[in-house]
Amino acid sequence: MAVITSSGVINTGYALLALVADAAVVVAAVAFIVTRTSESGREWWGGVRDAISPFALQIAWIVAVLATFGSLFLQFFEGLQPCEFCWFQRICMYPLSLLLGIAAFRGDLQVAKRYFIGLSIVGLGIAIYHYQLELFPNQPLVCGAAGPPCNIAVINIFGFISVPFLSMAAFALISTLLLLARGGADLEYEEVDVIEGTVEIDSDDDALPSPA
């Protein structure tokens, strides 16, 4: 009989959270596409987005914190040393766990969307590349030889979930939440109706009397 350890329970829990995150990202992407072609879909998604938007920044911060603690757990409790690409992903994730928290506390959604989403998108790109290295390990490696090899999965949950998969899910959800979140400036922009036309001025009404 297989022995279930606390590490296995935690890793499985993170794997399930990653699947939920991926499902949420896929639903958001499909809903966005549907809104481009369906008026009823646009109204439905607008209501969903309005419900999520007030909490999107806080949820993104929680995701970053969970991802940070997860990486530290793998290193210091399970003894799994990060490879070079893992460090690159940490460079993107660790600041987000702090900066998004500050932005959420201060309510600076526009600052988070303008300056912090770049970290998340870059981290997502690195995670995607790292994950495909594990899927196709025979390709040439670009990471150094100082740490563990980047093309070997140190954990394997459900047969396909590894460390870069978990990182990829976290970065994708953070990026999606920041893109969906709307602040006062976004709402004002959406409510403005741009009307093009000309303004005619009746010169007779505004004309000054001729001097005698």
**Whether pLDDT at 105 is above 70:** yes
Q: Examine the pLDDT at 99 and tell me if it is beyond 90.
A: yes
Average pLDDT of the chain, as a whole number:
84
- In the prediction, which pLDDT does 4 show? 52
Does the pLDDT of residue 132 top 90, yes or no?
yes
Percent of the chain with pLDDT over 70: 82
pLDDT digits (tens, 9 = 90+) for 71-85: 999 999 999 999 999
Rounded CA-CA distance 58/39 in Å is 30
Instruction: Give how far Cα 104 sits from Cα of 51, 52, 107, 186, Å.
Output: 17, 14, 5, 17
**pLDDT at residue 126, as a whole number:** 96
> Given a cut of 90, is residue 40 above it in pLDDT?
no
Residue for token digits 């702090």?
A: 98
Q: Domain limits of the chain?
A: 6-183
pLDDT at residue 161 tops 90: yes
Predicted pLDDT at 5: 62
Q: What pLDDT score was predicted for residue 189? A: 41
- pLDDT of 211 > 60? The answer is no
Q: What is the mean pLDDT of residues 99-116?
A: 91
Rounded to 5 degrees, what are φ and ψ at 157? -110, 130
Return the sign of the alpha-carbon dihedral for residues 109, 115, 120, 125: positive
pLDDT at residue 183, rounded to an integer: 65
The pLDDT of 113-137, averaged and rounded, is: 94
pTM of the entire predicted model: 0.82
Q: How confident is the model at residue 194 (pLDDT cuts 50, 70, 90)?
A: very low
Q: What is the pLDDT of residue 153?
A: 92
